[in-house]
Each structure stands twice: as structure tokens, then as C-alpha cells.
Amino acid sequence: MKSLLERLAAGAVLIGDGAWGTLLMTRGLKPGEAPEALNLSQPEVLEGIARLYLEAGADLVTTNSFGGSPARLRRYGLDGQTEEINRAAVEAVRRAVGGRACVSASVGPSGHLLKPCGDGDPAEIGAGFERQIRALAEAGADLVCIETMIDLAEAVLAVRAARAVAPGLPVMATMTFERSRRGFFTVMGVSVEQAARELGEAGADILGSNCGNGSEVMVEIAREFRAHTGRPIAIQPNAGLPEPRGGETVYPETPEFMAEQARALVRAGVSIVGGCCGTTPEHVRALRVAVG
């Protein structure tokens, strides 16, 4: 079986999965509870969600380890179980997909702004990423997915951590951008061009964006990435921007609308198309049909 990077180099377009948070909440995650706590208490829930996305046509299925760094788990008194929590996240998805999809090990922000802007010590945050990623890799992840980053320095720390402790795994790094009058920037002022250059220099194999925008805006971001990198591009949009309706938060993009934009993403040079907040197995199924 060809490796992920070989498939992308050969021109394959792969489908990622969709949101996990909303599905976890409908399956027992309590308000204020760490999503990663379910990795130990209810791994069968993770297996069920992973299986839904696999059956919808996802080529990459994400682990429930977005907040699995020691710094983030410390909020819940779980940092002492970092290795156990991250191993369980990978093992649940591996059981569900049975080798039929890549296990994408999610690594999100630490939840701390790095000094001097905040209280996060770069050495400590970097060591925490190493600890998390080592556990994910040893459990059998197929790639490391560093996602939803806004601080380029923190994203680079995570990429370098992956390169240090899991040198055999592909690394995907995606950041979250907002439109401004001067173009697209993260809230920390990072441009697409800067992200593409510095994440590539740090060792990321796949670059791109997730969260913060609907699929139509993501087409523009994808074009900008393609103008600044020759590496594979991954785009995971929200199902639009959230809207309050009848006391609930609703994401307005239908699976059909997102599928149409997926075709535009592929024309823009995107190699991995998935979904973020508000997307469901139905969205992933529509992406699969649209991309083929």
C-alpha cells in the first residue's frame, strides 16, 4: 500500500473526516468536561464516531486528542495521564477503521500564549508536544495533524516536536485565518505566505487551513497557499459561520453546498479536503461523491 505522501505526490485527492465535538456531546460529553476524558471512560463512543466517518468515505479519520497536550490537560487535572489518553485516542480509531483509512493524530494548541505575550514557556510547551506526539506515534498513528493554530511560533514548536519524536510520520500543519482589509491573517497577525514558508522550513509535509471560515472563503485561502508553496495543501472548512436560530447554534452550509465548493478547492490545488465545526458524516459523504 502506498504511503500517504506517495499517494498525494501521485495526484490523489483524499477526504478527511468532519467535526467530532458535536457528535461527542450528543453521545454523553458533559458541559465543562474534557473531551479527551472519554478516551479512557468510553472508548466505544470514539469507535462509533470513527466508524461513521469511515463509512461516509473518509480517507483520514481524526483522533480525539486535539486537547491532549499536557498543558491543556492540566486544566482538568489530567496531565499525569497524557500518555494513556493519547494512546487510547489512537487505539480507538485504529480499531474502528481497521486499516481502511489513515489514523490522523490531532494536536491542537496548548491553550497558552507564548512568552512574552502570555505565560507559556516555549521550552515547556515544546516538551509537552513531544510527550503527546510520542504517545500518539507509539500507539500507531499514520500522520500527525497539527491544527487550528493561530500562533506561528507555537505551530513551529509542534512541527519540530513531531519531527524530533516521530521522524517517520508525515506532518500536516493547518492554521486558522481571518479576512482583513490587507488579506488573510491569523488573529496573531500571521499571513498565509509567512505560515507556508515557516511551517515548511520547520518540516511540515502538508500545509493548509482549518476552522474559522466556511468553504467558499476557504477556496480563496487555498489559492493563496498554492501561490506560496509546492507542498500538498489540506483544507478543512466549517459548515459556514455559526448562526443563532431558535436558541441553538446552527452551521448553515448544507452537504450539497460544501460539495460544490470542494470541487473548487480541488481546482485550486487542494489535496486533502475535510470538514471542521458543524460538519457531519453527511457532509463527508457529499465530499466523497463530489471529489470521487
Q: Where are the domains of the chain?
A: 4-291
Residue 198 has pLDDT above 70, yes or no: yes
Q: In a 3-state reduction of DSSP, which class is residue 267?
A: helix
51 backbone dihedrals φ, ψ, rounded to 5°:
-65, -40
154 close to 128: Cβ distance less than 8 angstroms: no
Question: 3-35 pLDDT, tens per residue?
Answer: 999 999 999 999 999 999 989 999 999 999 999
Q: Does pLDDT of 182 surpass 90?
A: yes
Query: What pLDDT is recorded for position 257?
Result: 98
Give CATH for domain 4-291: 3.20.20.330
Question: What's residue 248's pLDDT?
Answer: 86
The C-alpha atoms of residue 220 and residue 224 are separated, in whole angstroms, by 6
pTM value is: 0.97
Distance (Å, whole) CA 141 – CA 272: 17
Cis preceding linkage at 281, omega within 30: no
At 178, the amino acid letter reads E
What's the average model confidence in pLDDT over 78-96?
98
Does the pLDDT at position 1 exceed 60?
A: no
Secondary structure element (H or E) that encloses residue 179, with its range: strand 178-180
| pLDDT(111) > 90 | yes
Q: What is the pLDDT of residue 166?
A: 98
The count of other CB atoms within 10 Å of the CB of residue 202 is: 20
**Cα 118 from Cα 113, distance rounded (Å):** 4
Q: What's the chain's average pLDDT?
A: 97
Please give the Cα distance from 281 to 271 (Å, whole number). 20
Q: Which pLDDT value is given to residue 249? A: 87
